[in-house]
């Protein structure tokens, strides 16, 4: 191979090695040009100047930008507002009733267990009248509460299956209480069957120091050992509280939609104002009625924003109450409230917490805006149509009457 051939081959190799960086530089320069042009157009829209601008070009820019901004602004606003409002309705109509039902079921079963043990200690009374009315009422209330949780619509398929297991365990639990009642005169069998019934209710055995308590502590067990009724109910409560906290927090999608909507609304309002001023100076139109009508949906934006903030605040403040339903209610509180109703409401009673959650979520909204979410996007589309139609009509009329040689 001659020296000249070697130089040509080396030059081709060097060109091949430097070709990708050259293409990248050209692509980078093209991207910079595109970004600069977009920035220039955006700045021209943000701070438009009619000096030296042709009427036709100004109207063409507004004819494209304003309808697009209206659709983006009201579309994202409607989505974010509807999402926040739907979360409030979901918490109030589904999650909160499910948590209340689980708390009622758990407390009722503890009260029923205490009543059964107290009644069976008096074997003669049981033989004469059976278990007390409170026991029967509490068992029925527990079963009813579990059924209401199933119908609440707050559970996933797996959680519904878990709740059906709980309902079956409750039936089996009452069966063992019935066996203990049948052996009321046999202390050994009766105590064994009561102990087994309590083991179905609570995994942890009763400590020696708590044997005299009417409602001894029952800490929940997690993991593979969570097999009792209380363990499973506590697990469901935990999952529902986590879902409530997730719904009550500001989601990333809602925050992004709110930011995009806010920027688009500001640009839309500024563009409408500059367009009205342009028409007044250039076309001697004192007030464009279509553009004024297109601006009317902007008046609802502060109300929608205030309503969404109220709903989000109510959701946030309902989370501690939901935690109290699972952590601070107790069978002692429910028994005292039942036996001494005139002592005043206990702040940790299930009924009191239920009322406070419902009131908080009900008050966290502007009632006259109920059902306004689905109307936001159509209002934006109508506004975009009015703006686009009006500017198109002005531009078409201007092109018809413009004379050759006139300013265009």
DSSP string, 348-364: TSHHHHHHHHHHHHHHS
Which parts of the chain sit beneath pLDDT 70?
Answer: 1-20, 42-54, 122-130, 208-210, 396-408
Residue given tokens 């059924």 in the structure block = 147
Domain coordinates in residue numbering, the chain: 53-401
Coil vs helix vs strand at 250: coil
Supply the pLDDT for residue 125: 52
Cβ(181)–Cβ(126) below 8 Å: yes
DSSP string, 166-181: HHHHHHHHHHHHHHHH
What's the sign of the alpha-carbon dihedral 137, 138, 143, 144?
positive
Distance CA 19, CA 15 (A): 6
Supply the pLDDT for residue 111: 93
- DSSP state, 225? G
**Per-residue model confidence as pLDDT tens digits over 155-184:** 999 999 999 999 999 999 999 998 988 888
Interacting residues of 398 by C-beta distance below 8 A, sequence separation 6+: 55, 56, 59, 283, 408
What's the sign of the alpha-carbon dihedral 45, 49, 53, 59?
positive
- DSSP state, 403? P
For the record, the structure tokens of 131 come out as: 């278990």
Supply the pLDDT for residue 4: 55
For the record, the structure tokens of 275 come out as: 């367009």
Q: Of how many residues is the chain composed?
A: 408
Coil vs helix vs strand at 43: helix
Supply the pLDDT for residue 5: 56
Burial call 227-240: b when 16+ CB within 10 Å, e when fewer: ebbbbbbbbbbebb
Distance CA 239, CA 258 (A): 29
Question: Which of these, 281, 316, 276, 314, lies nearest to 294 by C-alpha position?
Answer: 276
Q: What is the 3-state secondary structure (H, E, C) of 290-330?
A: HHHHHCHHHHHHHHHHHHHHHHHHHHHHHHHHHHHHHHCCC
């Amino acid at each position: 191979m001659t020296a000249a051939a070697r130089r040509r081959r080396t030059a081709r190799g060097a060109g091949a090695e430097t070709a990708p960086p050259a293409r990248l530089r050209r692509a980078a320069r093209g991207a910079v040009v595109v970004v600069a042009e977009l920035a220039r157009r955006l700045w021209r829209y943000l701070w438009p100047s009619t000096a030296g601008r042709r009427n036709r070009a100004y109207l063409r820019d507004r004819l494209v930008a304003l309808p697009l901004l209206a659709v983006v602004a009201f579309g994202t606003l409607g989505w974010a507002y509807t999402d926040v409002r739907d979360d409030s309705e979901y918490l109030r109509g589904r999650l909160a009733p499910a948590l209340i039902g689980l708390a009622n079921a758990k407390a009722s079963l503890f009260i029923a267990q205490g009543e059964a043990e107290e009644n069976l200690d008096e074997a003669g009374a049981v033989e004469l009248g059976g278990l007390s009315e409170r026991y029967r009422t509490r068992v029925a209330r527990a079963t009813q509460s579990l059924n209401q949780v199933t119908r609440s619509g707050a559970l996933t398929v797996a959680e519904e299956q878990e709740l059906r297991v709980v309902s079956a365990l409750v039936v089996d639990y009452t069966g063992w209480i019935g066996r203990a009642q049948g052996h009321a005169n046999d202390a050994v069998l009766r105590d064994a069957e009561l102990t087994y019934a309590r083991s179905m209710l609570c995994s942890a055995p009763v400590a020696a120091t708590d044997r005299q308590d009417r409602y001894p502590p029952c800490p929940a067990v997690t993991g593979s050992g969570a097999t009792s009724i209380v363990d499973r109910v506590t697990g469901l409560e935990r999952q529902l509280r986590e879902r409530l906290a997730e719904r009550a927090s500001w989601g990333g999608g809602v925050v992004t939609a709110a930011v995009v909507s806010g920027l688009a609304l500001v640009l839309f309002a500024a563009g409408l104002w500059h367009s009205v001023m342009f028409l007044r100076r250039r076309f001697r139109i004192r007030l464009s009625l279509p553009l004024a009508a297109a601006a009317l949906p902007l008046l609802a934006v502060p109300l929608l924003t205030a309503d969404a903030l109220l709903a989000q605040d109510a959701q946030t403040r309902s989370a501690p109450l939901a935690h109290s339903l699972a952590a601070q209610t107790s069978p002692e509180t429910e028994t005292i409230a039942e036996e001494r109703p005139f002592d005043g409401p206990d702040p940790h009673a299930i009924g009191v917490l239920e009322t406070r959650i419902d009131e908080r979520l009900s008050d966290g909204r502007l009632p006259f805006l109920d059902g306004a979410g689905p109307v936001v996007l159509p209002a934006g589309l109508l506004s975009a149509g009015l703006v686009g139609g009006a500017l198109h009509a002005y531009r078409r009329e201007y092109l018809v009457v413009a004379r050759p040689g006139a300013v265009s």
